Amino acid sequence: MRNLWIFISKYNAFFLFLIFEVTSLVIYVKNNSFQRAEFINSANKVTGGLYARADEFYSYLSLKEVNDSLARENAHLRNTLKSSFYADTVTKHKVTDTVYKQQYDYIVARVINNSVNHNNNYLTINKGSKQGIAKGMGVICNKGIVGKVVFVSDHFSLVQSLLHKDSQFSAMLADNKEIGHVEWSDDMDPHKGILKDVSNNARPRVGEWVVTSGYSLFPEGVPIGKISSLRTKGGGYSLNMEITLSVDFSKLEYVNVVDNKFSKEQEALEARQKKDE
């Protein structure tokens, strides 16, 4: 306190000048309408700018909450898409009875670990068996397919990325529905894939979309990528096409895990077929 008084007494002239200057400005602005209007206008600009910066800062702090909300909303919207339903249709005597049953559910999850520059890439998500995730489920994002679940704990899951030498997913050309399968590119480029074993009768074109066929873990029509070049597989009986993947795996934040409610029934039926072969 003593030092404060010494400081004030030492610079008392400056403080008196400051007080008189502020007082005179207040009186001047208060008693002149033009200057008062200019002062208020300038003050509004300054405070408006400060409020805008503060709002941007608070918006930045709330981005995680906003992203979580949008991811949940996207999963809910996917659940209502027609492609998420199975059409159970019976036609008799020109009478069609159609009942739509939910076939696919989507569980939103956040990516908490990821790799793109290894020979075999995986990502970890923050949802596990407690949230209904099981081994073998497909994983997608808003841009396209991501991979499949390979290991599950109570609260986390490990996803084998499409960027993995053992990843292989059923796919088709979007325009003519010719079926093949997608693998990661031979040169390990995280932006490239290969559509393999398409019928030689197909007439693909550069820029055509490649999407899921509906024969595996995913509903039909989920984007995979666009054809970037055409080349014939050795032997000439089928076609290979290089594609540019629609998903940028280095920027993954949120994904949707696909729960196919009919997968176990389908697997059991197909297992019986293999047993009879």
| Residue 107 belongs to some domain of the structure | no
Evaluate whether residue 56 is within a structural domain: yes
Question: What's the pLDDT at 217?
Answer: 84
**pLDDT, tens digit, for every residue of 23-42?**
776 676 666 665 555 555 55
Quick one: tokens of 235?
A: 């032997």
Q: List CB contacts of 125: < 8 A, sequence separation 6 or more.
A: 109, 110, 111, 112, 139, 156, 157, 159, 255, 257
Supply 264's token pair: 């176990």
**Average pLDDT, stretch 204-231?**
90
Instruction: Please report the pLDDT score of residue 145 as a whole number.
Output: 95
Question: Which residues have C-beta within 8 Å of that of residue 42, sequence separation ≥ 6?
Answer: none
Task: Examine residue 117 and state whether it is found in any structural domain, yes or no.
Answer: no
In a domain, 88, yes or no: no
Read off φ and ψ for residue 148, nearest 5 degrees.
-140, 150
Residue ranges making up the domain that contains 11: 2-61
Rounded-to-integer distance, Cα 86 and Cα 88, Å: 6
Residue with the bigger pLDDT between 81 and 98: it is 81
pLDDT at 137: 92
The reply to whether the predicted model has a pTM over 0.85 is no
- 48-73 pLDDT, tens digit each: 455 456 556 555 555 666 566 566 66
Q: Could you tell me if 196 and 179 are in contact, meaning their C-beta atoms sit under 8 angstroms apart?
A: no
- Check pLDDT > 50 for residue 235: no
Residue 199 lies in a domain: yes
* % of the chain exceeding 70 in pLDDT: 61
> Mean pLDDT highest for which of 3-12, 31-40, 76-85?
3-12
DSSP string, 199-243: ETT----TT-EEEE-SSSSS-TT-EEEEEEEEEEPTTSSEEEEEE
DSSP 86-129: EEEEEEETTEEEEEEEE-EEEEEEEEEEE-SSSSEEEEEES--G
92 domain-assigned: no
Residue 182 falls within a domain, yes or no? yes
Structural domain includes residue 257: no
Contact 96, 89 (CB under 8 A): yes
Mean pLDDT of the region 85-102 = 42
Token digits of residue 152: 């599950």
Question: pLDDT tens digit string along 95-118?
Answer: 333 445 567 888 989 899 999 999
pLDDT tens per residue, range 183-194: 998 888 999 999
Q: What pLDDT, on the 0 to 100 scale, is given for residue 203?
A: 87
How many domains does the structure of the chain reveal? 2
Find the mean pLDDT for residues 222-246: 83
Least confident of 51-55, 87-91, 113-117, 239-243: 87-91
In this structure, what token pair is assigned to residue 3?
């030092």
Is-contact 126 139, C-beta < 8 A?
A: no
| Burial (0-12, 13-18, 19+ Cβ within 10 Å), 10 | exposed
Q: What is the pLDDT of residue 18?
A: 73
Most confident of 33-37, 176-180, 236-240: 176-180
- Among residues 38, 61, 84, the one where a domain terminates is 61
Confidence of residue 214 (pLDDT cuts 50, 70, 90): confident
Which residue, chain included where needed, has tokens 């390990």?
188
Say if residue 11's pLDDT is above 60: yes
pLDDT at 100: 53
State residue 41's pLDDT score.
53
pLDDT band, residue 89 (cuts 50/70/90): very low
For residue 245, give both structure tokens.
Answer: 């993947």
